[in-house]
Chains A and B, each alone.
Chain A
């Protein structure tokens, strides 16, 4: 029987969490936002969500089939990408465009760079920006209650105010998943409680953004205005779900603080001084590109290092 024993290096036990269980947690956390989006925008939102998910999963499957590599759709990461992409699209986007977005996210942004863990930009956001740049109007015109109107942020920019309660609940115009601050918060708290994400990135992001708005926003030191800014646009969704994407955020803890803070500043600049009222997606994509640099300067000191330094001083 001895030849039947398994041998391997230590450790011999493994934690229950796996890539797929984590992705599943993200999907669960996105459910309130998804359901609210469908409630708010109607059946068409549902179809868009389905289309992006299917196109993401199918792209991944077919690509890996063609490349004859392991099929990884079972880890649910393509589902997460598809879902996040849909939540960042207007509900009335042409269906074919949603499908193209999904294909772009998976094939160009994720798989061409080597699959899960290798991409350096958030696939969903990169796809959104790609669609924005290629088909501007379809992506920036938002209708709500069959009235073509502006998003709350645009209105705030033009008139200086909006109904905060509506924005908090989410019954406003915008992309499918960004309107409801409360739904996003519920999901964010779930992720924090399950320790899927840690607080550093969202906290640093929102705190620095708030400071920026207080000091440089159009209405300075106005808490109501700040609350409007926090509930408007993609910042909540971005802070809890997009910026915290593992692959495209720093692995070091100090790096995560810096990353979050940078996002806060950039988003603030884009929103206050930029041509559009929005800015979250571009801020995140831009900071994604800085991640290797941030990681390089934040390599932690190993345990025991401090004592060595002190010692050198004493000697």
Chain B
């Protein structure tokens, strides 16, 4: 019962974090990042008048504060109620990440959006979201049932492929953030999209063809595959709407909508790639050669 509540709470935190990602994306797309020049207060107050860009910037700060408090609660809860030491520490790491993320957000305001800080803020956001999604998975009833081991005959190994897919996705998030904050042009991000699509197709098809009846693996693979496809479509829509409205005197809703959707589905894709990698490491046995060398298997 206690475990179910903890799991539900972690799902709520993950969901609030996704909303936070949307709120952050709205700030950047509406060019509202500096509409509140002070931090941590807003216009010297806890609650300024929510008008224009201030609505997006201060709204983002409010959602962020909520997520911060929820993360504190989750970390304490895990620390007191969780038997698995590594999961207790993952809670602490999540708390550290959310505090660091808040500080990065403050630095973007005080130092007038330095590109490296803005990009780091965007990347850490997706990593934090992936962490909350992973905690939700680790506390789920399905995870508690234990692994359903399967063998992997292919080369390169499925574990390697899954980690590579998550790593390429993270790199793609960074390239997207760099394009968004004008540190790079769009070309590397477009090339990255090809790389991510290739990696995602490779790893998910390997899973779907090799283990079609393994429910946790199949679900994780289908989740990642569908998100990645949708994300490519949103990326094209975001780019086209940006080009089409380039002459507009202000950020246009069509551009803001597609861009923020692209950011949110990007976060979901990132998390899905992490969850697939976790499931692969949990269920897919190491090839025999590796076992002979003597690997340590993680069990809960």
A and B physically associate = no
